[in-house]
Structure 1
Amino acid sequence: MQFISTEWQSTSTAPSDGDLEICALDFDGIVHSLPFPCHKDGSNWVDRTGKTHADIQPTHWRIWANPG
């Protein structure tokens, strides 16, 4: 059984397969995450369908855990 952390990880370690939650930190260090799953496509981040570019420079990621 593989343990999957729910802690934020650096985007430099993000896998290119599977749904991920991505976030960026604001100037006050508050986490703001996108409300939809994304995946890494080369150096770009796109929504689950691969059709829409995520228009942020994320700093962290974690496995998408929101089933809705």
Structure 2
Amino acid sequence: MWQDISTAPLEQYLAVATIDKEVHANIFPCILTNDGWLNAETMKQLEIAPTHWRKWPAMTYFCCCG
């Protein structure tokens, strides 16, 4: 469920979106820092102003060889 951006926690992997009439969600995790929003993969500042957030889905990795 999308939550208002004003309630986003610091220093956690989050999915962010800009929601107007439609949801425009980023396809990469983001992190909110004291300096603003960063792309969690590149650590570069976001060029958008997100309006909503939700937890980034947890990923589970399986190994076939050990």
Q: What is the percent sequence identity of the aligned residues?
A: 36
1:10 alignment partner, one of 4, 10, 13: 4
Flag the structure with larger Rg. 2
Corresponding residue for 1:39?
31
- Deviation track 1:4-58 (CA, whole Å, cap 9, x = no partner) reads xxx10001000002100000024xx100011100010125100114621111110
CA contact (8 A) 2:15 2:54 kept: yes
SS of 2:6's partner is: helix
After alignment, is 56-65 or 42-51 more displaced? 42-51
- Cα distance between partner residues in 1 of 2:46 and 2:7: 18
- Cα distance between partner residues in 1 of 2:17 and 2:5: 9
CA RMSD of aligned residues (A): 2.0
SS of 2:38's partner is: strand
Which consecutive residues of structure 1, in runs of 5 or more, have no partner in the other structure? 1-6
TM-score normalised according to structure 2 size: 0.78
